[in-house]
Amino acid sequence: MYQFCMKKSNLIGLNEAELVKVAESLGGRSFRGRQLYHEIYRRREFSLDQMTELPKKFRSQLEQSFEIRVPQIHDRQQSEDGTIKFLFRLSDAKYIESVLIPEDHRRTLCISSQVGCDVGCTFCMTAQMGFHRNLTPGEILGQVLAIARDGCLSQPGFNVVFMGMGEPLYNYRNVMKAFRIMTDSKALGLSYRKITVSTSGVVPVLSRMRSETELPNLAISLNATRNDVRDELMPINQKWDLNGLLDVCRSFPSKLRRRITFEYVLLSGVTDSDRDAYRLITLLKGMKAKVNLIPYNPDPALPFDRPTPDRVEQFREILMRASISTFVRRTRGDDISAACGQLAHLESESHG
Ligand code: SAH
Ligand code: SF4
């Protein structure tokens, strides 16, 4: 006997107004939608059965067409330094990765915005898997909610960084919808200052972001100081070059213009010379900027090397002498390939 199973819509990913509409469409009062919003995001209750505040009839009506679907944790690997890499299996059997990084007083959750990435940076493992699809708002939020449910985010303060797989500004609508639910005090209640979106430099979207009322922190993956080098490393530079990228960073209205972080991957013999450091100072002149130096995380499939610690230190010193706040990103989760640019999952099951 065949059973026809219409896929139910996911309630995770819907905002308050949409949940109100869901409630009304089922003949319920609008406050039932607001209750649902509270139950899902604030109380992190993922079973309709357990939502005893809601009338039983309403819940059973909901159950007919909706469900609460959190991405499934397919695998988790813990590094010697405490970093945990989560492998999520999505409902179409695609996989994404997220990384939880414990630091002294906080935890940072690095989440994905797309399955794969089509920007094609030559030093990045995610680029090797190509682009599959954008994540939905529910899948973006689902990474945070699933890890919270797994018990790994029990402490109240944590940061979220969009530095996993994908280019978040190529999935801007879904990323911003998830961001608004994350920051809503009636939902996840994270401070918008604790959320960072990292981009390879999608200038038209950055330009559009200037008119948002609330923004996450911005991190720009600069990674080179000359257009010819950046053209090679990050093909997106052939569309929007360093001048256009830095101009749009400078043009953020002052109320939104918090300090922008510039990420800079140090590739031995390619981007790590003293001259690069001096050029970087010139490029950032007059900007409220912070620099994160990321020593390249090697992969045998890619033709780059990590600079020596001395080289990294020398590069940092040059920037510090020019009064630019500069941090060297400590490599975390090395033994489980959970570091920046190492997230990629090539296996993908086909529908059975
Ligand atoms: N697509 C976005 C966010 C994900 S990549 C972006 O590019 O900003 C997150 C960071 O990892 C970027 O700064 C990127 O430059 C860096 N990165 C990519 N591959 C890396 C590698 N192999 N070693 C070190 N950093 C890497
Ligand atoms: Fe995509 Fe970022 Fe990797 Fe470039 S560095 S390929 S933009 S994930």
Q: At a CB cut-off of 8 Å and minimum separation 6, what does 148 contact?
A: 44, 154
Do the strands 114-116 and 66-67 form a parallel or antiparallel pair, or are they unpaired? unpaired
Q: Catalytic annotation on 121?
A: no
Residue-range definition of the domain harbouring residue 153: 72-350
Pair (38, 114) in one structural domain: no
Residue whose Cα lies nearest atom 12 of ligand 1: it is: 221
Residue whose Cα lies nearest atom 5 of ligand 1: it is: 163
**DSSP codes joined into one string, 67-79:** E--PPEEEEEEE-
State the closest ligand 2 atom to the C-alpha of 198, by its place in the atom list counted from 1. Answer: 2
Pair (47, 76) in one structural domain: no
How many domains does one find in the chain?
2
Judge whether 2 lies within some domain: no
Residues 161 and 198: beta-carbon distance below 8 Å: yes
Q: Which amino acid is at 42?
A: R
Q: Catalytic annotation on 97?
A: yes
Q: At a CB cut-off of 8 Å and minimum separation 6, what does 153 contact?
A: 100, 107, 109, 144, 147
pLDDT at residue number 331: 76
Cβ atoms within 10 Å of 335's Cβ, excluding its own: 13
Residue whose Cα lies nearest atom 8 of ligand 2: it is: 166
pLDDT at residue number 252: 85
Do the strands 95-102 and 158-162 form a parallel or antiparallel pair, or are they unpaired? unpaired
pLDDT at residue number 156: 63
Pair (114, 27) in one structural domain: no
124 lines ligand 2 (CB under 6 A): yes
126 lines ligand 2 (CB under 6 A): yes
Residue whose Cα lies nearest atom 18 of ligand 1: it is: 341
pLDDT at residue number 103: 82
Pair (50, 88) in one structural domain: no
**DSSP codes joined into one string, 83-143:** -EEEEEEPTTS-EEEEEEEE-SS-EEEE--SEEE-SS--TT-HHHHT-EEEEPPHHHHHHH
Length of the chain: 352
Pair (340, 315) in one structural domain: yes
> One digit per residue, pLDDT tens: the chain, 352 residues?
344 456 899 999 999 999 999 999 999 899 999 999 999 999 999 999 999 999 999 999 999 999 999 999 999 999 888 899 999 999 999 999 999 998 877 899 999 999 999 999 999 999 999 999 999 999 999 999 999 887 666 566 789 999 999 999 999 999 999 999 999 999 999 998 999 999 999 999 999 999 998 999 999 999 999 999 999 999 999 999 999 999 999 998 766 657 899 999 999 999 999 999 999 999 999 898 999 999 999 988 899 999 999 999 999 999 999 999 999 988 777 776 777 767 777 655 433 3
Pair (76, 63) in one structural domain: no
Residue 99's Cβ-count burial label (10 Å; 0-12, 13-18, 19+) is: buried
Judge whether 146 lies within some domain: yes
Q: Which of 34, 65, 64, 35 is CA-nearest to residue 51?
A: 35
Pair (126, 110) in one structural domain: yes
Judge whether 327 lies within some domain: yes
Judge whether 181 lies within some domain: yes
Q: Which of 16, 39, 97, 167 is catalytic?
A: 97
Q: Which mutation among 108, 112, 113, 123 tests ligand 1's pocket best, with the greatest number of atoms within 8 A of CB?
A: 123
pLDDT at residue number 343: 75
> CA–CA separation, 36 vs 175, rounded Å?
22
Angle, alpha carbons 195-261-255 (nearest 5°):
70
